[in-house]
Structure 1
């Protein structure tokens, strides 16, 4: 009996130490370190560029605005030229430190990056920051066999190929300059298997693992590579309203940028970090594998049924 008591106390104390470490880290990366200016040193100049993909709305647009306010020149890449022009004008008017803002219309469902390569090579100066933000999800949760082939192709091309190709184009320039920051937007759905969003979840795991692997490869070459795994943010894609746990894009990006140089893998926002801690802990102590994924399955199944009803689709 004493042995069981000893084991119980050991488990309990281990949990307390783990939880305390997580809280200290949360306070440090979200409050103390940003307050004292720790983390990466942003060094924008007249010839320094930040490249942002998926930059006409939501998180991508905010990264563009906040990097412009740091003093970087911007190259904004998204699908629709008219939206790009509107965003560029808005940044020039609303961001007092904005320098040059250039745009390039490109559909990331394509795998021919010649147009982007030519544009990047035409920029005068150095590319100091790359934000790989462009991405798509499902219209609504569904079973894998219900997905159109074109949907799968687009998920792979836009979520996986884009981050790989953009990084492969720009990283050599950063390596030659021995400085640079790459921010890759993954997703909380990439932190655990997410049924009914299986392909989306898998593409975001790729983004996370690629980022973390490259960070270790280029750690000693003056380059910072960060994987960001946001949960719900109040964007057009999520169709959610702001709340204490669902930040606006502005609040999320401000918080996330403050972690660059402090966290190579981050959920970006304090509430999302708590989600990550809860997920890790629940999966650790749960008697069954993928405990949190099974909970997600139940939640997303209800969402799928509502979508089927909304679109008058037959539920087999």
Structure 2
């Protein structure tokens, strides 16, 4: 049996999947609820690496990866291939190459400080080169476009028909570091926004990353009702909500027990609140100034503000790309989204 690892180096946490390379079947999945480097966004991680030590940042990430494999009971010797994904800063820190050229945008400053521009082309390196102990595997590292666009947005461009679409199109990876690209004719304008972790379910009072027990959606069917992820990461209906009265209608719809709300749930909560009128930005008009999603799970006005910061940052990124391209956002005909 040929074994491989799919590794998403997210800004809010890591996601690792063990894959049978012969059958293409995912055998195990592990998700961390935070990043090994301190901070809540990509700028915090960059700042830590620059001010403390790039070498320490690299070793912390490798150590976290090795610990995940150990927790998953994976023998490193059985792994033949690792495919990784992430933004340019995360990919560079994991690979162990300098990120100083990513920290400063001014070419004159880079030249004055004699900072070398690193090559971030697609490559295959050995696990030993990056310092993973007890493993002899090929690591497939995707390319990065300057400091704005990493593998997240590139993968979405390739897997969708974004590159072939003749209409004005916009692609966005909704994460802590939101990568985006705007296609106008034969030109592609790229950028990213440090939107913060609210859309990953963090910096929200009852927030969490997408994992079992996370409220992932609120839909209008039988009245507004919540969906939460089960042990197989599949959404299951849980409760019918009365947002105004902060009550539940009828019995629970499944045995899934929610323990928090994730990023898609945050967006759904805001949408449901706006649709029912219980939210009029920036306020929540219930008696307690919060929305009750389950027994001990709430969405507060402070949470609404945190989500607003993330949405605002992404909106600013979209407006900047449109301005650079000489169009209005209303001219965009197709929007591709992932997160």
> Could you state the TM-score of these two structures normalised by the residue count of structure 1?
0.32
Structure with the greater relative contact order (CA < 8 A, sep ≥ 6): 1 or 2? Answer: 1
- Normalised by the length of structure 2, the TM-score is 0.31
More strand by share: 2
Structure with greater helix percent: 1
